[in-house]
Amino acid sequence: MNKVILLLAFFLGGFLSTADAQKGKKNNPSDKIADKKAKDILAGVSKKYKSYNVIKAEFTFTLENTAEKTTDSYTGILFVKPSGNKYKIDLNKQEIISDGKSTWTYLKDAKEVQVNVVETGDDAINPAQIFTIYEKGYSYIFVEEKNIKGKMCQVIELTPTNKTKNIFKARLIIDKTLKQLVEIKLFEKNGNRYNYSVKNMTANPKVDDQFFTFDKKKYPGVDVIDLR
């Protein structure tokens, strides 16, 4: 499940700011046009999401293990407050809460919560940086427009410039009208495929800053392991 969280962070950290995203060089003029189109699409998504105070996203995560020919699925809810890097992720067996300084990982079955300092640095993964990280270390290109379940969607592919990364490609599907992320699929070198489908997204749900902290009083009988 921890890998699910990290990949969710990758998923949410991949796509918003367009200031300096294009790292790859393209020699084909049609590729440059495609890159410009991708940049304009992402800029539209960026503008919309940056206008929100808090974002709530209900999602389904599916792992396709091609080697073992198995498929596992999870559902969850994410709340993000970009100001202050605050977030909360609620999964079936875990809750992860961060106020921007500390992170609480609540293991529901074990009735245990682990407290850590929020990691910083270029390699740190933080879901609160929703739609902002792709400006560093990724090239991107517009692929196509297609109708998906009655909605016109735009497909963009991201490629990390660091070729040692296990994830070698991410495919974004964006609702053209709403300028909202519909789905992302991550491709690993080992053949695994990770698919995140956003079932519902709500702008500015009514939650206060205390929502992004762990209140032990609301979790009776839970052991707190402070690793800070």
* 56-84 pLDDT tens trace: 989 888 889 888 889 988 888 989 887 77
The sheet with strand 223-226 has its strands ordered as 138-148, 151-160, 167-175, 180-188, 193-203, 55-65, 70-81, 86-91, 94-98, 102-107, 112-117, 223-226
* Structure confidence at residue 18 (pLDDT): 35
Contact between 167 and 187 (Cβ < 8 Å): yes
What's the farthest any 2 CA atoms get from each other in the chain? 62
Specify the pTM: 0.74
Tell me what pLDDT residue 5 has: 53
Tell whether the model's pLDDT for residue 11 goes beyond 70: no
